[in-house]
Amino acid sequence: MKNKISSTFFLTALTAFFIACGPKNHNTKTNASVMIRYFVEKRLKNPSDASFGTCSVEKIDSINYRTQCYVDATNGFGAKLRQNFTCQVKHVQGETWELVDLQFEE
């Protein structure tokens, strides 16, 4: 009886391990949000002090995501300004994402 419990526990633990270590789904709204922030920060003069609003990411289709949001960031003259933006990203594969479109409102 003890061996049966031990083998059942071992198989359960082994299954959980393979599920946890299996292929990761990088094509998610959360990852899209991280990549949108990355692409926006690349365009800022001082990305270290940028503060993003709460951005809602919309899944357009199986690989494309879009958001309309804002970022408070310091411009070239040192003034902190709010910039509204629209951004679309595309999940290519694995951890690879592509910027499709990024527009800052004037």
87, burial (CB in 10 Å: exposed 0-12, middle 13-18, buried 19+)? buried
Greater model confidence, 16 or 61: 61
Task: Tally the domains of the chain.
Answer: 1
Q: Is 94 part of any domain?
A: yes
98 pairs with which residues across the strands? Answer: 90
What is the domain range of residue 42?
A: 25-104
- Can you say whether residue 76 is alpha, beta or left, with left for phi > 0 and alpha for psi between -120 and 50 degrees? alpha
pLDDT in tens, 36-94: 999 999 999 989 899 999 989 999 999 999 999 999 999 889 899 999 999 999 999 88
Q: Is 69 part of any domain?
A: yes
Q: Is 19 part of any domain?
A: no
Greater model confidence, 106 or 60: 60
Q: Is 66 part of any domain?
A: yes
pLDDT at 102 over 90: yes
Q: Is 92 part of any domain?
A: yes
